[in-house]
Amino acid sequence: MFLVPLESNPEVMTAFLHKLGVPKKWGITDVYGLDPDLLAVVPRPVLAVILLYPLRNEYEGIKSIDNNATKDIVKEEIDGVYYLKQYVPNACGTIALLHSVANNTDVIHLENDVLKKFLEETQKKNPDERGNHFMNAQGLLDTHKESALEGQTEVPSEDTPVNYHFVAFVHKNGILYELDGRKDGPIKHGLTTPDTLLEDAARVCKEFMNRDPEEMGFTVVALTALNE
């Protein structure tokens, strides 16, 4: 099973989340740059940061940016961290959004809809079981397909290779986690707080960008409160 990829477009992603039952006070906001003055204009609070980055052959198989002691993949269950494996090609955008919301349900009070049902059904499952459950979550998949057709770029066929990938960054228990459904588990990136999540995630995004400084295909968005 292949999906048409979700576009990194705040309007499309916000509409997608609202269709899934996320209250309209929350949505996806552009992060126009990673310097302090541009981060300062992002609406607060910031609940998650999502990075879209280009895949390169040399990136494949990398377990973290440096895979050193300060950026460890955590294979065991982490209290409070919701993580699922990605088994559906081109679903990384939806999974990044799912990771972003699922790890903030103490703040985001989901309406009784598709996503709330999915999270309730998978809360006690392990990451592999959650990934398999996602493959059969027809409500989520149908909403993804509908939203993937609403972007501004030309829609590729389902079997067209996509050379970009979404990952999410969230705060849990004082730790910044990178959640990438293709990895063996969440990746620790040091300490953070709800107030400094955006700045700390921006630091990690810069590390991704430094791997390929000539590449312009990086996009950063954030799950935030929406300005009324």
Catalytic machinery residues: 92, 165
- Alpha-carbon distance 140 to 147, whole Å? 11
- Alpha-carbon distance 46 to 37, whole Å? 16
State both tokens at 57: 């052959």
Candidates 81, 106, 63, 69; CA nearest to 172 is 81
List, in sequence order, every residue forming a beta bridge with 191; answer none if it has no partner. Answer: 175
